[in-house]
Structure 1
Amino acid sequence: MANTVEWPVRLTLVEEDGTTTARAVLTTATTTFTGHGTARCSPEDRDIPEIGDEIAAGRALRDLAGQLLRVADEELEGVGAAPPRRQTRVAYGWTDAMA
């Protein structure tokens, strides 16, 4: 039997002095997640607010997605079905150049 759930997302954009900030709020049945994103117009670029909106909104939604995936990973781990851990790469050689 199919189950449909709807989670509304409210996205608020504020543009001021060449900087756009975005706030994405997702409300589930049990919790609320908030993602944030920012976009800045370079002084030498033309100020086109729609582009700043798109970048800031995309970053806020990406932040929100990351939060959801982290919570899901933690819940999977709690029931013994944890996803494989990512290995941290060790830098060899000229590590000062990577700093």
Structure 2
Amino acid sequence: MSHTGQWSVRLHLFEDDDGTTKAHVTLDTGTTALTGHGTAHCNPVDTNVPEIGDELAAGRAMHDLAHQLLNAADRDVQGMAASRPSTPQAAGRPA
């Protein structure tokens, strides 16, 4: 069976005055929305390069989102397995 779908991903980046970058990434499947979070902190002795903070925070947020998505899939698989009817054992064969 063929299946086509489209999911939307939105990534928002925020940088505080203290050199902390925060990222929120939202996956919208049309029926479910998951949000991942990530942060990056600039070491005070390092040069502040906003692009690096953005990359780290975004990558961490997407990593968080990926874990949530894999956990959701695992729960769905477990739910499918639990809803399957058990097959009766053949007569005369031990269980």
Shorter-chain TM-score tier: 0.7 to 0.9
Q: CA shift at 1:30, angstroms?
A: 1.1
Shift of 1:6: 1.1
For structure 1, which runs of at least 5 residues remain unmatched after alignment?
Answer: 82-99
Equivalents in 2 of 1:5, 1:63: separation in Å? 22
Percent identity of the aligned residues? Answer: 58
Measure the CA separation in 2 of the matches of 1:72 and 1:2: 19
2:15 aligned residue = 15
> Equivalent residue for 2:25?
24
Q: TM-score, normalised by structure 2?
A: 0.81
| Aligned counterpart, 1:79 | 80
2:47 counterpart of 1:62: no
Indicate the structure (1 or 2) with the bigger Cα radius of gyration: 2
1:44 to partner: Cα distance: 0.7
Q: CA deviation at 1:63?
A: 0.4
Count, aligned residues = 81
Letter in 2 for 1:9: V
Amino acid at match of 1:22: A
Superposed CA RMSD: 1.3
Once the two structures are TM-superposed, the CA of residue 7 in structure 1 deviates from its matched residue by 0.6
Structure 1 runs, 4 residues or longer, greater than 4 Å off = none
**CA offset at residue 61 of structure 1?**
0.4
Q: For residues 2 and 75 of structure 2, what CA distance do their matches in structure 1 show?
A: 26
Structure 2 residues without counterparts, runs of 5 or longer: 83-95
Structure 2 residue 4 is matched with structure 1 residue 4: yes
In 1, distance between residues paired with 2:41 and 2:63?
17
Of 2-11 and 14-23, more deviation after overlay is shown by 2-11
Distance 1:69 1:51 in 2: 27
SS of the residue 1:26 aligns to:
strand
